[in-house]
A and B are shown apart, each in its own frame.
Chain A
């Protein structure tokens, strides 16, 4: 299939799928916000508001859910829903345990599953991820796995009952954008699950590209939290997510190698 056909297929899919839905639940915002790296709670609050995000993800290993005045209170005051993640887990066992603690602490059975395979790149550990996903699904969790941009692994995650797939564009915090758009398009094409581009977004155009490729949503953390003005970047990426989605639904023109004038050349008045 050519790139052109991929896009056409993605567009048709998008129209068919309609709203952004995970596990039967419709989400208003296609931008999911990560909470790591903000210089202060005040800047986090401003970014949440500017992003319009409905789901905000929090690393259970880095917060104490019972601590008052902290992250959890800020999210509650902002009226967003907390999506616990298992960041910092290196084995399926740790991730499963962390997810269970999160379920107890936050009273949600949704979990963004991360099982990291390497400290330097923070890339997912595929076999451990699959093991953990299978166990958590069996335990009644709604599992949103952070995965590599490998279409085969994405399919295996769907097979074990995950509720969405969250392929990386490039490594966490790298801001390198979508390294392999072709793979993201392949993942999109083969599944009816929600596809959320996770990790690698550096700036607004990366988020727009993810949406143009047919992703249902984008997760952003560092691109916003480490920007010089986090709230302004949140607004920019929110706009890009909307723009990318609209562009996908609008249907881009085919690429061509030679120019084609936008106005017909025939019948023009001869003014010389």
Chain B
């Protein structure tokens, strides 16, 4: 682990977002020397605009790719309790994994019917969900509006605070994270920065989030999300569970803060916060939790999630590089799984073939929704 200033590190991780940092941490735990090349400003990155939901069941989707995404999400969710504990103990910063469960909510008869389809689908997959009468849901969460029409409890879906996760990982990795290092090109044996400096490494992991497509030609595109952070000056307690509804969510943190979101916009690298998005997010959330109108609006931000054509990440080896990108809206949830898979490959463990096949970075080699020429 001791590393001389001029020694070639075992691993260079391109990107200091939540996935890159998680990979670096797990690689270092395996005894590898690591450098993380981080562009250094958090402008437009994905993790600050993440709700931090660990929600495989709420997010289950129909169809074959939905099934594959569920396998990944369940494997990742299984890792979170121990990962959160280890990270908290090692870094001294508790990532605040809140295990208070999730409620899916319907505001009117139409949404109630749609929620029933979602319930039946989850039951058919054997996933634990429980329909609640509006009165029962409001006993659990008295801040919910009396107009609530239907609710579905998802007791196993939780949340974590991505800012605390990143703070913990940064504290642990220390000066292994090189801030202000903007990578211009990648190769199997190192990278070149935009200052023309070359950084050699035995292996290179691409974890460049929404910029992975521009950097390395993979089918990863930015998917803009706008999100609000609200603060209850009276402290926590307004809402205990994660609340999800057709157009967004309310995620409580432990300190009286609430993350309310979110949009999904195909706007390229645009990170402007718009009045319309702020209005719609507050309108919809306020319809379900009228009390949020009393909170302080602490922050309105936009970030770019790295989306792929099939909404599944690119994790594994291809073309001499290791890939840990394309996590879309699920980067926080999937980070511990991706980190284990990539660290395993770096350390030469027998690969987890089933999971790696799902996120095979070479799967878009042909077909219409594939790489786009510059």
Contact = CB atoms under 8 A, between A and B. Distances in A.
Interface of A: 39-43, 45, 49, 62-64, 66-71, 73-74, 77-78, 228-230
B347 interface: no
Interface in B356-373: 367-370, 372
**7 cross-chain pairs, A with B, having the tightest CB-CB distances, nearest first:** A67-B268, A69-B221, A42-B310, A77-B368, A64-B268, A41-B309, A228-B62
Nearest to A227: B62
B311 A39 contact: yes
B270 interface: yes
B213 interface: yes
B334 to A, nearest CB: 16
Q: In the complex, which of the residues B63, B221, B268, B307 has the most CB atoms of chain A within 10 Å of its own CB atom?
A: B63
Given A62-B265, A66-B268, A77 B369 contact: yes
Given A45-B309, A64-B266, A69 B63 contact: no
Contacts of B268: 64, 66-68, 70
A175 to B, nearest CB: 10
A64 to B, nearest CB: 4
Given A39-B311, A64-B270, A68-B268, A45 B220 contact: no
Interface string B178-205: 0000000000000000000000000000
B266 A70 contact: yes
A70 B370 CA distance: 10
6 contacts: A40-B310, A41-B369, A42-B369, A62-B266, A73-B372, A78-B368
Interface in B311-336: 311
B61 A39 contact: yes
Interface in B242-269: 265-269
Given A62-B266, A68-B213, A40 B370 contact: no
B65 A43 contact: yes
A39 B307 CA distance: 12
A43 B266 contact: no
A78 B309 CA distance: 14
A42 B328 CA distance: 14
A242 B66 CA distance: 31
A90 to B, nearest CB: 11
A128 to B, nearest CB: 19
B44 interface: no
A228 B63 contact: yes
Given A40-B65, A42-B65, A68 B372 contact: yes
A49 B63 CA distance: 17
B266 A67 contact: yes
Contact of A63 (B222, B266, B309, B311): B266
Contacts of B168: none
